[in-house]
């Protein structure tokens, strides 16, 4: 079971939450921002947070009315087999009501919580719950092939019938099942297809390791055919295993999707060796096939295979942009990547903005200057099998880490980096946020320039400002100034004044989406570099850019799309 989330909406419930968390040492306390302090995670959107946790399979304990939880989660309810426990606890701790997740131990959770709160849990399921959890919800590593037959099966057991076991089911040995050798009901544990029936529940243990090498596109059909010919159940396949050299081959992801199991990579080359290594010491080879198109081997282990402990997964590296500041400007995709990554890599200031880490995640802060080294570090980390999020502010492809990653990828050309799953998740760039705050200054043709001459010569920057000024483009200046670069912005202004009217509107947008945000408008003539720092993006209007006075002070700035 994942670590539970305890959710509070007001400060008065924090004490009760902390009390019930004595029963749940690994739980995380989520509190509504602005209403609660001293919680582990602050959230602003109750509905979105709850639904994310639920979809993620996190047990939810809400210190609020049951109705609120039900209405919020209702749109996601579809299959009780996958629902995590959801409980409502009265704000004063006087009632504990298990709502969902009967197959995932909600009643046990309710009992534990009720015990520390010294109340009776409001358990509403009938007495057959123990048989149900042990039979319908086997531990990980086992899958019930015919859950639809379980209802009758359990009723028969409750009516006094006995049951016999075929195969090894360690989790059933402690249950109070009425086991008898000549019983009419059967529980069968097998990696073969078996014959599921109302009087026979069939469980498939995850004991098969499938290894493939010399891959081709036909891999899915070939593997399915071998499984069928060997009478092996797809549900018993624990994972796909392959050589590290095959990492990133598209046929592997098709196979993993078709069989719905993970892929792991080993430092071996031959399919039979790989399958046997994955199946462990007790492993035995069940099938092996070598054709010109593909090598495939299937090995059987005596125990369910814990895939996570074998070889390594394909490393992932996602370069994300968190937007200029606050959470509201961070895309759901970026939030997802940040949540699922094992490691975050980035400049300390940006990692702070990206939010708090979840348990088990690692943060690697670095100096803002060493972009290429940071990219190398992230790629090396991903190559060990980690899922790495490289964090930029704004958009990662605009004066940020994405280009640095691709630069070292090309330059160093390490094969293990080229096999990684590399993705870029876009973000809102500073110029877009600035434009949105003041109207629509980027409404027509525009360009973005970095005024930093650390990575490119000043002469190039000068030429580009002059060319953009002559082309009458709106401009966004990034990195306009820094402690070391003090004169460049003044020089840029001089160049602009050679081509543009002194009345050209200038927007100075500072700390967008962060505390202390300010957006000011002046003219090119009034504009003074002293008003700008490294957390400012500067927008320079074109000859078409216009101002509209607002009735109670301030202006809108926009650039029309239409030419008269
Ligand atoms: N990838 C970022 C840009 C990084 S370069 C993006 O797409 O926004 C760093 C420069 O971006 C800063 O010097 C500043 O000019 C601008 N910038 C980044 N965040 C900003 C913010 N919150 N407010 C104003 N400007 C910002």
Domains recognised in the chain with CATH numbers: 5-124 (3.40.50.11220), 142-205 (no CATH), 208-309 (3.30.420.180), 316-428 (3.40.1010.10), 431-558 (3.30.950.10)
Cα–Cα distance between 534 and 457 in angstroms, integer? Answer: 19
Q: What dihedral angle (degrees, nearest 10) is formed by the CA atoms of 363, 367, 370, 375?
A: 10
Q: Please name the residue whose Cα sits nearest to atom 2 of ligand 1.
A: 394
Taking the C-alpha atoms of residue 408 and residue 511, their distance in angstroms, rounded to an integer, is: 30
Query: Counting atoms of ligand 1 from 1, which one is nearest the CA of 428?
Result: 7
Which candidate, 105, 150, 161, places its Cα nearest to that of 130? 105
Question: How far is it between the farthest Cα atoms of the chain?
Answer: 99
- The whole-angstrom separation of Cα 353 and Cα 526 is 33
pLDDT attached to residue 10: 93
pTM of the prediction?
0.78
SS3 211: strand
Q: Ligand 1 center to residue 325 CA distance, Å?
A: 9
Residue ranges of the chain whose pLDDT lies below 50: none
Specify the pLDDT at position 128: 52
536 alpha carbon to ligand 1 midpoint, in Å?
7
Which pLDDT belongs to residue 250? Answer: 92
Residue to substitute in 537, 538, 539, 540 for testing ligand 1 pocket (most ligand atoms within 8 angstroms of CB): 537
Pocket test for ligand 1, best of 330, 394, 489 (most atoms within 8 A of CB): 394
Strand order in the sheet with 163-166: 142-144, 200-205, 185-189, 163-166
> Looking at the DSSP assignment, which residues form a beta bridge with residue 165?
187
Residues touching ligand 1 (Cβ under 6 Å) are 324-325, 392-395, 398-400, 429-430, 478-480, 509-514, 534-537
Q: Please give the Cα distance from 138 to 195 (Å, whole number).
A: 18
Nearest atom in ligand 1 to the alpha carbon of residue 450 is: 5
What is the distance in angstroms between the CA of the first residue and the CA of the last residue of the chain?
65
Query: What is the whole-number distance in angstroms between the Cα of residue 554 and the centre of ligand 1?
Result: 24
Q: How far is the CA of 480 from the centre of ligand 1 (A)?
A: 10
- Strand pairing class (208-213; 295-300): antiparallel
Cα 351 to middle of ligand 1, angstroms = 15
Ligand 1 atom closest to the Cα of residue 427 is 7
Cα separations in angstroms, 558 against 160, 443, 542: 79, 7, 10
User: What pLDDT score does 176 carry?
Assistant: 75
Which among 371, 430, 431, 449 is the best mutation to test ligand 1's pocket, defined by most ligand atoms within 8 Å of the CB?
Answer: 430
DSSP 312: B
- Residue written as token pair 């993705």: 423
Q: Strand, coil or helix: what is 466? A: helix
CA of 23 to the centre of ligand 1 (A): 45
pLDDT of residue 133: 65
Q: Which residue has the tokens 């298990």?
A: 98
Instruction: Write down the pLDDT at residue 126.
Output: 61
Residue closest via CA to ligand 1's atom 5 equals 399
Task: Using DSSP bridges, classify how beta strands 316-321 and 362-366 pair: parallel, antiparallel or unpaired.
Answer: unpaired
287 DSSP β-pair partners = 298
């Amino acid at each position: 079971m994942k670590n539970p989330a305890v959710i509070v909406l007001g400060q008065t419930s924090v004490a009760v939450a902390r009390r019930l968390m004595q029963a749940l040492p690994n739980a995380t306390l989520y509190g509504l921002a602005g209403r609660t302090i001293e919680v582990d995670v602050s959230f602003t959107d109750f509905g979105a947070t709850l639904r994310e946790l639920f979809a993620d399979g996190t047990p939810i304990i809400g210190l609020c009315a049951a109705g609120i939880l039900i209405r919020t989660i209702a749109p996601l309810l579809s299959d009780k087999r996958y629902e995590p426990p959801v409980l409502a606890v009265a704000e004063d701790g006087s009632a504990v009501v298990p709502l969902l997740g009967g197959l995932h131990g909600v009643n046990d959770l309710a009992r534990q919580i009720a015990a520390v709160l010294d109340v009776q849990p409001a358990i509403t399921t009938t007495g057959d719950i123990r048989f149900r959890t042990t039979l319908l919800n086997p531990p990980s590593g086992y899958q019930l092939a015919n859950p639809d037959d379980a209802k009758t099966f359990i009723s028969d057991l409750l009516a006094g019938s006995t049951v016999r076991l075929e195969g090894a089911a360690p989790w059933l040995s402690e249950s109070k099942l009425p086991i008898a050798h000549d019983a009419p009901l059967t529980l069968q544990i097998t990696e073969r297809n078996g014959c599921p029936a109302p009087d026979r529940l069939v469980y498939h243990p995850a004991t098969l390791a499938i290894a493939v090498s010399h891959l081709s596109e036909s891999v899915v059909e070939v593997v399915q055919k071998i499984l069928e010919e060997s009478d092996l159940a797809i549900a018993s396949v624990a994972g796909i295993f392959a050589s590290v050299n095959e990492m990133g081959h598209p046929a592997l992801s098709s196979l993993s999707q078709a069989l719905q199991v993970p892929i792991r990579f080993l430092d071996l080359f031959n399919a039979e060796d790989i399958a046997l290594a994955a199946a462990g010491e007790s492993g035995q080879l069940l099938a092996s096939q070598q054709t010109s198109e593909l090598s495939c081997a299937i090995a059987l282990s005596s125990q369910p295979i814990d895939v996570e402990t074998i070889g390594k997964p394909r490393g992932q590296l996602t370069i994300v942009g968190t937007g200029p500041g606050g959470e509201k400007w961070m895309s759901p995709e970026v939030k997802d990547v940040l949540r699922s990554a094992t490691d975050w890599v980035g400049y300390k200031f940006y990692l702070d903005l990206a939010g708090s880490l979840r348990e088990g995640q690692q943060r690697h802060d670095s100096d803002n200057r060493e972009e290429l080294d940071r990219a190398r570090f992230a790629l090396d980390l991903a190559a060990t099998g980690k899922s790495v999020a490289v964090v930029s502010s704004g958009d990662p492809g605009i004066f940020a880490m994405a280009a640095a990653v691709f630069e070292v990828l090309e330059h160093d050309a390490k094969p293990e980096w080229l096999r990684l799953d590399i993705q870029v998740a876009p973000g809102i760039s500073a110029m877009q946020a600035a434009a949105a705050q003041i109207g629509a200054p980027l409404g027509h043709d525009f360009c973005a320039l970095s005024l930093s001459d650390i990575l490119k010569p000043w002469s190039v920057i000068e030429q580009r400002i002059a060319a953009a000024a002559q082309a009458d483009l709106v401009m966004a200046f990034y990195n306009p100034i820094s402690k070391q670069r003090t004169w460049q912005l003044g020089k840029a202004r001089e160049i602009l004044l050679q081509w543009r009217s002194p009345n050209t509107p200038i927007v100075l947008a500072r700390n967008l989406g962060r505390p202390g945000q300010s957006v000011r408008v002046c003219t090119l003539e009034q504009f003074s570099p002293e008003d700008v720092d490294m957390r400012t993006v500067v927008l320079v209007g074109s000859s078409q850019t216009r101002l509209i006075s607002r009735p109670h002070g301030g202006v809108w700035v926009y650039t029309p799309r239409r030419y008269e």
